[in-house]
C-alpha cells in the first residue's frame, strides 16, 4: 500500500505539465574514472547524511550542484533522504537552492511535499523562491496536508492563490486530497474559493466530488 506521501506525490504528478525536453545530457559518461568515483562517493555520502565525508569531498573540489544519473541535483538527493546535515553542507558550499531536476521539481518543492519544515526553512533562507512559474511549495505543502509548512510559507509571503500551470491552487489540492485542516486555514487566510482551473473545476466542485459535504456547504455560503 502506498504511503500518504507517495499518494500526494502521485496526485501532483497527475496534474503536472511535464517538460517537453527529455533529460539533458549529464556529462557523467565524460568524467574520468577517478572523478566518477568521487561523484559516486559524494552521492552516497549525501544520501546517508555523512556530513564529514560530504564536507571533505566538497573541499576537494566536488561541485555542490552535481547531479546523479537521474538528473537529480545533490540538494534534491539530500531532501529525499532527509539528510539535513548534508543539505546544510551543500548550501554552505554555495549549492543553488533553485536547481531543478528533469521533472522540474526543486529542493524546496520536495521538502514541502515531504513535510520537512526544517529543510523548507533552510532552503527559503538560502534564497529558494516561494513563487514563480509552475507549481509552488505552498501547493505541494497543501497537497501533503502539512499545516505547519503552509503556515510558514504564508508568513514568508507566499501567494495564497498562486496557481500551477493548469490553474490548480493550493486550496483546490488541499480539498482534493481531503486535507481539511489545510483547506480551512487557507480559507481563513483569504484563499479564493471561486477560482477555476483549466478543467473548469473550483474548490467547491472538488469538495462535492470528494463528498466533503460540510465544507461544500460552507463554500456555497461564501
Query: Which pLDDT score is estimated for 189?
Result: 96
> How many residues does this entry show for the chain?
222
Query: Which pLDDT score is estimated for 20?
Result: 39
Is the pLDDT score of 34 beyond 80? no
Which segments of the chain does DSSP mark as H helices, in order? 4-15, 33-47, 51-59, 74-81, 84-92, 107-114, 117-125, 137-144, 147-155, 170-176, 180-188, 203-209, 213-221
Question: Which of the four pLDDT bands, split at 50, 70 and 90, describes residue 30?
Answer: very low
How far is the C-alpha of 149 from the C-alpha of 156, rounded, in Å? 10
The set of cell numbers assigned to 47 is 544520501
Residue 161: phi, psi to the nearest 5?
A: -105, 20
Under 8 Å between Cβ of 74 and 42 = yes
Share of the chain above pLDDT 70, in %: 86
Query: What pTM value is reported for the model?
Result: 0.85
Is the pLDDT score of 72 beyond 50? yes
Amino acid at each position: 500500500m502506498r504511503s500518504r506521501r507517495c499518494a500526494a506525490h502521485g496526485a501532483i504528478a497527475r496534474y503536472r505539465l511535464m517538460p517537453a525536453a527529455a533529460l539533458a545530457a549529464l556529462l557523467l559518461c565524460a568524467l574520468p574514472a577517478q572523478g566518477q568515483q568521487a561523484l559516486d562517493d559524494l552521492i552516497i555520502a549525501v544520501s546517508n547524511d555523512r556530513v564529514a565525508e560530504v564536507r571533505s569531498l566538497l573541499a576537494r573540489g566536488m561541485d555542490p550542484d552535481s547531479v546523479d544519473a537521474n538528473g537529480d541535483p545533490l540538494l534534491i538527493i539530500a531532501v529525499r533522504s532527509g539528510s539535513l546535515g548534508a543539505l546544510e553542507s551543500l548550501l554552505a558550499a554555495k549549492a543553488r537552492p533553485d536547481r531543478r531536476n528533469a521533472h522540474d521539481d526543486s529542493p524546496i518543492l520536495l521538502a514541502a511535499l515531504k513535510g520537512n519544515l526544517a529543510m523548507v526553512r533552510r532552503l527559503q533562507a538560502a534564497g529558494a523562491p516561494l513563487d514563480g512559474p509552475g507549481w509552488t511549495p505552498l501547493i505541494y505543502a497543501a497537497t501533503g496536508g502539512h499545516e505547519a509548512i503552509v503556515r510558514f510559507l504564508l508568513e514568508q509571503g507566499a501567494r495564497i492563490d498562486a496557481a500551477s500551470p493548469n490553474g490548480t491552487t493550493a486550496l483546490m489540492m488541499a480539498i482534493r486530497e481531503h486535507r481539511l485542516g489545510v483547506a480551512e486555514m487557507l480559507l481563513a487566510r483569504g484563499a479564493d474559493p471561486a477560482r477555476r482551473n483549466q478543467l473548469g473545476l473550483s474548490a467547491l466542485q472538488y469538495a462535492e466530488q470528494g463528498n466533503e459535504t460540510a465544507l461544500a456547504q460552507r463554500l456555497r455560503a461564501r
